[in-house]
Amino acid sequence: MSGYIIANYTITDPEKYAEYQPAVGPSLAQYGGKLIVASTEAKVIEGNPHSTTVVVEFESVEAAQRAYDSPEYTKIKHLRTSSTEGWLIIVPQFVMPQG
């Protein structure tokens, strides 16, 4: 079952975030990450989300966690956490209950 890293944040330091952008894709792709969404153009229907939404698909929750914990991502993670405000989660794919 697929696993997803989902992030929603506002960029607070564009210069530092610009260092993160070219490095993040290759670091997650090494662990099977497939970028599904990366946008600042979400149409807000409800609530008060941050301006940037990112969704990365992996073969499993465990693979997503391995990518997040990897040496490659650990080296660049601070570029995101220090240049944004928001959140990041890892979630499993939804499977409709049979019944």
**Number of independent structural domains in the chain:** 1
Domain membership of residue 36 (yes or no) is: yes
Whether 99 maps to a domain, the answer reads no
Q: Which residue intervals of the chain are DSSP H helices?
A: 14-29, 61-69, 71-81
Bridge partners, 57 (sequence order): 4, 34
pLDDT band at 5 (very low <50, low <70, confident <90, very high): very high
Residue whose pair of structure tokens reads 């956490």 in the numeric block: 81
Structural domain contains residue 87: yes
Backbone angles phi, psi at 39, to 5 degrees: -150, 150
pLDDT tens profile 48-58? 999 999 999 99
**The pLDDT of residue 99 is above 90:** no
Position 86: which residue type? G
Q: What is the pLDDT of residues 13-38, one digit of tens each?
A: 999 999 999 999 999 999 999 999 99
CATH of the domain at 56: 3.30.70.100
**For the chain, first and last CA: distance in Å?**
19
pTM value is 0.93
In terms of residue numbers, what domain contains 55?
Answer: 3-92
